[in-house]
C-alpha cells in the first residue's frame, strides 16, 4: 500500500534508482552533554548507550563495521547501495582533522552512496560543515527533541531552539540535508506545544524527521524521576493521532525517517507499547485513511 507520507526509503529509491540500505556505525565518539563539558548528566531520557543506539561496535574499525554489514545485507537482500550512518552520541564532537579521517574511511567502496551523521546542533561549526559538505550526498541528523526552550531546559539538553535553528540554516546553506529528531509526550507539553515544534521545523523546511515517543529507559535519569513520581505518558492512539497531525503540517518533501521503532524492549520501562512497531505504523496509516489526509496538506510555506 502506498504510504500517505514520504518515507526515506522512497526518497532514496528515487534519488539513486535502487534500494539503499542504511549501515549503522559507531565511530567511538562521546557527547559533551555526558562528559562534563556541558553537563555530566546528559539529556534526561538518554541511557548509557548514547540515545537509543543499537549498532556496530566501535571496537571494530569503521571499515570492518561496513564490510561486515555489506556482506550480511548483500547475502540477505542482494543489496547494492548503502548509506553510512553514524548514530551513537555526537558524531561531530572531535577536531576537524580527526573527523576527516573517520568520515574519509567510509568511502573505500563505491557502493557507499551517502553519509549521514547524527550530532547535536552545538557540536558543529563552519569548518566541520564545510568538511561534511564535500562528501557524497551528505546528511546531518540533529537532535532537537522540542522547539520549546522550557522543555529543552527541563530535559537538560544544554542548548536552546535558536542554536538548532542557526545550525540548520548553516547546514542547508552548504547543501547538506538535515534530519531533525523530536520526542512527543514530554510531561510539561500539550498537543499544541508538540504541533508548534512541527510548525517550526516546517518553517525551516527540514529534509527529514525522526519522531520518537518519550520512553523511560532503565539507567536513564528519567527513570529515577519516574520511579519517584510517575507522570502521564501518551497511549498509542494519542501518539499516532499527533504523528498524523505533524505529517500534515510538514512539507510533502520532508522525508519521514522514523515514526515507530523496535529493539529496546529490554531497556524500556514504560510505555511498553513503543516496541509494537507494526501496530503503530498500521494505526498511523489507518488514521490517515480515515481522515483522508496526506503529508503536507496543512503545510504553510514560509514567506521569503
* Residue ranges in contact with ligand SF4 by CB under 6 A: 31, 33-34, 42-43, 46, 50-51, 89-90, 120, 143
What DSSP letter does each residue of 171-201 carry, written as one string? Answer: HHHTT-EEEEEEEE--TT--HHHHHHHHHHH
Q: Are 177 and 225 in contact (CB under 8 A)?
A: no
User: Judged by CB, which is closer to ligand SF4: 143, or 185?
Assistant: 143
> How many whole angstroms separate alpha carbon 171 and alpha carbon 192?
28
User: Judged by CB, which is closer to ligand SF4: 17, or 40?
Assistant: 40
CB of 144 vs ligand SF4, minimal distance in Å:
11
User: Judged by CB, which is closer to ligand SF4: 6, or 89?
Assistant: 89
From the list 233, 230, 248, 231, the residue with the least C-alpha distance to 287 is 248
User: Judged by CB, which is closer to ligand SF4: 33, or 114?
Assistant: 33
232: CB partners within 8 A, 6+ apart = 187
CB of 155 vs ligand SF4, minimal distance in Å:
8
Q: How big is the CA angle at 190 (ends 185 and 194), to the nearest 5 degrees?
A: 70
Largest CA distance in the chain: 52
CB of 196 vs ligand SF4, minimal distance in Å:
21
User: Judged by CB, which is closer to ligand SF4: 51, or 56?
Assistant: 51
CB of 252 vs ligand SF4, minimal distance in Å:
29
Burial bucket for residue 190 (CB in 10 Å: 0-12, 13-18, 19+): exposed
Q: Which residues pair with 82 in a beta bridge?
A: 21, 112
CB of 103 vs ligand SF4, minimal distance in Å:
19
CB of 297 vs ligand SF4, minimal distance in Å:
32
> How many whole angstroms separate alpha carbon 21 and alpha carbon 73?
8
Residue 185: alpha-carbon gap to chain centroid = 16
User: Judged by CB, which is closer to ligand SF4: 208, or 251?
Assistant: 208
CB of 154 vs ligand SF4, minimal distance in Å:
13
User: Judged by CB, which is closer to ligand SF4: 90, or 151?
Assistant: 90
> How many whole angstroms separate alpha carbon 237 and alpha carbon 243?
10
Amino acid at each position: 500500500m502506498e504510504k500517505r507520507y514520504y518515507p526515506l526509503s522512497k526518497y532514496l529509491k528515487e534519488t539513486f534508482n535502487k534500494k539503499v540500505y542504511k549501515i549503522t556505525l559507531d565511530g567511538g565518539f562521546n557527547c559533551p552533554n555526558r562528559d562534563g563539558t556541558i553537563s555530566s548528566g546528559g539529556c534526561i531520557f538518554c541511557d548509557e548507550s548514547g540515545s537509543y543506539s543499537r549498532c556496530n561496535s566501535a571496537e571494530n574499525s569503521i571499515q570492518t563495521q561496513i564490510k561486515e554489514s555489506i556482506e550480511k545485507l548483500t547475502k540477505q537482500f542482494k543489496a547494492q547501495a548503502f548509506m553510512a550512518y553514524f548514530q551513537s552520541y555526537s558524531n561531530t564532537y572531535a577536531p576537524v582533522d580527526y573527523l576527516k579521517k573517520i568520515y574519509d574511511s567510509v568511502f573505500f567502496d563505491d557502493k557507499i552512496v551517502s553519509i549521514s551523521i547524527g550530532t547535536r546542533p552545538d557540536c558543529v561549526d563552519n569548518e566541520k560543515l564545510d568538511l561534511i559538505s564535500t562528501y557524497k550526498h551528505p546528511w546531518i541528523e540533529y537532535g532537537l527533541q522540542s522547539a520549546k526552550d522550557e522543555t529543552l531546559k527541563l530535559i537538560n539538553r544544554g542548548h536552546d531552539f535558536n542554536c538548532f535553528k542557526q545550525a540548520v540554516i548553516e547546514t542547508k546553506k552548504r547543501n547538506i540535508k538535515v534530519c531533525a529528531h523530536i520526542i512527543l509526550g514530554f510531561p510539561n507539553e500539550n498537543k499544541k506545544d508538540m504541533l508548534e515544534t512541527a510548525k517550526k521545523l516546517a518553517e525551516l523546511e527540514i529534509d527529514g524527521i525522526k519522531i520518537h515517543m518519550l520512553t523511560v529507559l532503565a539507567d536513564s535519569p528519567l527513570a529515577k524521576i519516574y520511579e519517584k513520581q510517575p507522570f502521564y505518558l501518551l497511549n498509542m492512539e494519542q501518539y499516532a493521532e499527533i504523528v498524523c497531525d505533524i505529517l500534515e503540517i510538514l512539507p510533502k518533501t520532508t522525508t519521514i525517517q522514523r515514526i515507530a521503532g523496535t529493539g529496546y524492549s529490554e531497556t524500556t520501562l514504560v510505555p511498553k507499547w513503543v516496541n509494537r512497531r507494526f501496530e503503530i505504523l498500521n494505526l498511523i496509516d489507518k488514521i490517515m485513511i480515515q481522515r483522508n489526509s496526506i503529508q503536507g496538506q496543512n503545510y504553510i510555506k514560509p514567506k521569503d
